[in-house]
Structure 1
């Protein structure tokens, strides 16, 4: 939740190493992971294990990788009853349960499991298994029959990818590097096609430059729209950079980043690195007091820095 709410966090990678656990809260958490993926990119790595409940959570990420020796799967449900009545007798112990409700003492370890109790527990295990199978099928885009056919087996490395339970085999470091490239690519503004392809190669002579003058090959309205769109993109990028610097407590750096032509992703990364360096050198204290505009909870839109940037980038 903290990562989702932090504007300096562009995406989330889940580093999973777990044999699984109980069903309580498992599917709720998995659904929250999928909801988070709708707000920011979320990838996961089975490093070194994501079995059972851990797989239910990991498969909810946008992409799931497994290490070469790592494993995923165990898409099943298990319940155990221990009958220690024989041991109790050997120890000279006899337990008497006083209950209200005929089934209250169904799963006591001090008595053999009754047929009715066994049937009820099996029905619940089957119900949870059905939920698990449906969840994995939905998250991984697989047929439910294919998921059920795994029979709760464990799948390792390339075998997991071939079964469709993982997107590939990679180390955590490799996934982090690819994730960084993915974030940079998704944040890079894309330009719409300016004209339909003619099948002929376009040759540029000299140094092509971007100007506000419409190209002779474009209509006046189309050229004006492209210029307006370019201005909007510049304004939005500059405002986003100013707000990031304000939130990070260094509004004075906004002009520096904008003048250098840095992208929003580059600024975010630079601020994160600066904050990490500041944490490592806690003995260093800034000699400049922050203005109230950088105080927690302040509205970035009310900042004079953001206002100045808006005025600058919207100036004709």
Structure 2
């Protein structure tokens, strides 16, 4: 690859402030969607100022890429520690269906943790940059008890509620055993959904995800590859260039005949139906 093509590729791949763009970036036949910073369900003024990705924006970008006839594949450029569970399962389902329409490749560049790994796992292929961290398959909830601090400083907080558990889990009272059991059940529920989604996306079993995918830890690239959390180690630039080369080769080789078979009327109707469901 010559210097000019390197510069062109670098300009096309979103970095820094460009990552907050609400439309995919394009390089050749690839739509590159940046997943940056904390992940939330919807954009707020906080994410606009501090950065981050909203699932609502990512959903729109995926749909745009699917609807763009000039786009042949989608690359998720991920650098995120994760985020909220809200909307995550729904976006995961969108990605999983989308990969039946166009190939999706996720690149950990250079962090795909927790909710960000959930997203990555729904792609056809998950790639880790050599210096990346991947994993954190788990769910965490925190409760802070300020009751002793309040007592020490003469503060007494009274909650006036309707509904037996309306104030359950507030930070001005110790967490009761009953409340702890309830919140633990909720955490387990989200964790089970997380594991099931990763297992489906990675084409493995629930037990394998629980046993080998870090148990909540983050792995480096080599450990993640050994565990089956990623498919290979490579750089984002190489991945995008390879996708362009693959498409160019397919247009010149007998493999293009297989591509034609994949676009028979029956297959096209199925893909059109999936696209319709995703775009509406």
Aligning the two structures, in what range does the TM-score lie when normalised by the shorter sequence?
A: 0.5 to 0.7
Q: Runs of 5+ in structure 2 lacking a partner?
A: 1-62, 262-280
Structure 2 counterpart of 1:108: 170
SS at the partner of 2:117?
A: helix
Find the partner of 2:185 among 108, 111, 123.
Answer: 123
Indicate conservation of the 8 Å contact 2:131/2:220, yes or no: yes
Indicate conservation of the 8 Å contact 2:250/2:256, yes or no: no
Indicate conservation of the 8 Å contact 2:198/2:209, yes or no: yes
| Range moving further from structure 2, 182-191 or 106-115 | 182-191
| Range moving further from structure 2, 108-117 or 182-191 | 182-191
User: Larger Rg: 1 or 2?
Assistant: 1
Find the partner of 1:156 among 220, 233, 256.
Answer: 220
Aligned pair in 2 of structure 1 residues 174, 124: CA closer, same or farther (>3 Å)? same
- State the alpha-carbon separation in 1 of the partners of residues 68 and 256 from structure 2: 31
Structure 1 counterpart of 2:133: 71
Aligned pair in 2 of structure 1 residues 127, 187: CA closer, same or farther (>3 Å)? farther
SS at the partner of 1:162?
A: helix
Aligned pair in 2 of structure 1 residues 115, 181: CA closer, same or farther (>3 Å)? same
- State the alpha-carbon separation in 2 of the partners of residues 192 and 147 from structure 1: 36
Q: What is the TM-score when the length of structure 1 is the normalising length? A: 0.58
Deviation string 1:208-241 (CA, Å, 9 cap, x unpaired) is xxxxxxxxxxxxxxxxxxxxxxxx99xxxxxxxx
Give the superposition deviation at 1:189. 6.6
Give the superposition deviation at 1:191. 7.3
Give the superposition deviation at 1:144. 1.4
Structure 1 counterpart of 2:66: 4
Determine if the alignment matches structure 1 residue 180 to structure 2 residue 252.
Answer: no
Deviation string 1:20-79 (CA, Å, 9 cap, x unpaired) is 011111111111112111111111100000011100001101111001110111111111
Q: Give the 4+ runs in structure 1 shifted more than 6 A.
A: none
Return the structure number with greater strand share.
2
Q: What is the TM-score when the length of structure 2 is the normalising length? A: 0.66
- State the alpha-carbon separation in 2 of the partners of residues 141 and 151 from structure 1: 18
Q: Please give the root-mean-square deviation of Cα atoms over the aligned residues, in Å.
A: 2.1
Indicate conservation of the 8 Å contact 1:77/1:129, yes or no: yes
- State the alpha-carbon separation in 2 of the partners of residues 192 and 108 from structure 1: 61
